[in-house]
Amino acid sequence: MCGRFGASYRDIKAVWNLYGNFSFEKRYNIAPSQEVPVIIRNDGRNEAEVMKWGLVPSWAPDAIMGQRMINARSETLLEKPSFKQALQKRRCLIPANGFYEWRRDGKRKIPMWIQLKTRQPFAFPGLWAAG
């Protein structure tokens, strides 16, 4: 997953047929450790919840570890104890309208906004930790 992205709940509510009264302001620069809208499956329905971006495993000594654990790589997903239980039991979707990639221009880094050509929302696969 990228290091920064944007999301608008109004746009994603209809796409994923979300249940319940949930509100999330449109944001264009969501960063690790911030709250993000997440879609989980509960009792056969798609529900939106707000969760903090960054996986904090149950065995972690403190929540600071979650700021570093923002990407689960498919190549090592099944090997890492941090992801194993979440992969089996706690999967989610992280809706987005776009994300940033960075282009270097000398010493400067320039953010490039990436979105679908149709401008429709899409989702990143995600894992969440109980607790």
Is 75 one of the catalytic residues?
A: no
Total of domains in the chain: 1
Q: Summarize pLDDT for 55-74 with one digit per residue, the tens.
A: 766 666 666 655 566 677 77
Instruction: Tell me the residue range of the domain where 47 lies.
Output: 5-127
**Around Cβ 93, how many Cβ atoms within 10 Å?**
19
Q: What pLDDT is attached to residue 59? A: 66
Q: What pLDDT is attached to residue 126? A: 87
Q: Which residue in 35, 75, 79, 101 is the catalytic one?
A: 101
Q: Do residues 121 and 15 make contact, with C-beta atoms less than 8 angstroms apart?
A: yes
User: If you count DSSP H runs as helices and E runs as strands, how many of each does the chain have, helices first?
Assistant: 3, 8
Claim: this prediction has a pTM higher than 0.75: yes
Angle among Cα 120, 95, 4 to the nearest 5 degrees reads 100
Q: What is the CATH number of the domain that holds 36?
A: 3.90.1680.10
Residues across the chain: 131
Is 101 one of the catalytic residues?
A: yes
